[in-house]
Structure 1
Amino acid sequence: MRQSYQDWKGQSIEAKRSQLRGETKDLPVPVHIQKEPPFWDVFPENPEVFKLVVQARALGVLRLEENRNTEEKVIRYTRETVIGSENVEIASSWEEAVQVLEVLACRPDKEAIGRQVSAKLADADQAQDKLGLYDQFINYLKQREAELEKIGGSDSPDYKREATIIKDLITSENLQLDNKSKLSVIQLVISPEKPLVDFIEEPHISNISPVEPPFMAGANVFCTECGEQNPARSKFCYNCGTRLVKPN
């Protein structure tokens, strides 16, 4: 029965896509007794397909948008054709997206989405790119926590399930940078007018911390920008990087 239903769903998807292309094709005979069924499937979804949808959603490969023709919310992705980019609709909800990608007729869609996810991960070969992806995944989890607030937020099973997938992806792709890599990223984006000073790196410290200069009375220069006191030999403020003006 499940396979028969998936076959019907595949025929329905193909017919709708044909209609969106301007072709004349009738939808298969409906099997639902109401427009929106209370659930898509009585069987649990394929865990691998669910993981792919979460990854694609976090990376922006799959998006929730509005079809301007039907004015309905749809889950879609973009693929390249010989005449340019094309939006492909796969479902009307995220739950349905997982089930639809199991349908045989949508196997090319699943493969295309998988290739796009792999390409985005493979492109992050520099430290700055890895840090950007890491932030994107963390922001996605914050967004999901807010969306699931009514059912427990970060304590809900749905959040924990997606968080596990994101955590495993961050670990497998080595996106959580060490202190040395983070320092390299900072050096790329910092303003040249405010150079970096020396940093220390300690294995038990997760964040990069500036070296704390020893206090010596009468041998310190105050920063005119942030007011921090620096050793007399310093040329730049260790706190904000501003060039120090030493008294005569």
Structure 2
Amino acid sequence: MFSLKQKVALVTGGGDGIGKAISETLSKQGATVYVLDVNVENGVRTAEKIVDSGYLAYFKQCDVSNQKQVKNVVEDIYDKEGRIDILINNAGIAHIGTALTTSEEDFNRIINVNVKGLYNCVHSCIPFMKKTGGGVIINMASAASVVGLPDRFAYSMSKGAVTTMTYSIARDFVGFNIRCNCISPGRVHTPFVDGYLKEYYPGKETEMFEKLSKTQPIGRMGTPMEIANLVLYLCSDEASFITGSNYPIDGGFVTLNT
């Protein structure tokens, strides 16, 4: 079950955190994985780890906010592989702030990466998916797209856009055998979380980690691998009847806290 043999998968932001777990998981199920990341060190390290484990992966440096760069990368992959079967729009950045404390520069940066970046990737990949008979697109939304979180104005806005873009893509291309879904994680323990705690709560990292963990009714943060396993299912033929859906994976954060 969940075989991805002979599939070609692109994972944006695939060099670290959730993206790294997704890249590794898809490769273990047989996919040829292209790790797309703006960070060369992270991307190369993840691709090399996958190859050292006996699976297929390549790194491509890519700034998803740059449409020309995205187009060139996607075309290069298609020219080499002859197909693009899976696109994981995982690349994204976070931001702390309200509508009053968010600067125009930060607002535009969030839009360019989290919203325009997704658009750039689907805009470049969908024509090739149509050529080869279909494909799967998974977008990374967030629990913040459906509930109000304090100090997450721009981030929540961007993830709300991800959710609605998912519905639109699914509707427009269902007739071309292209499935599009999104997933909405709650808090997941990634290097970003550790960096956030170190920056904003120096000396109180352990205390704040426990506090943030307990905001999920299940009592802990999620793991990148748990997110990756859901992505794997939605990419597989076992999920062939699923499109246009938003899957929460948040330890009960949304439904049990409202």
Greater CA radius of gyration, 1 or 2?
Answer: 1
State the TM-score bracket (shorter-chain normalisation). Answer: under 0.3
Normalising by structure 1, report the TM-score. 0.26
Normalising by structure 2, report the TM-score. 0.25
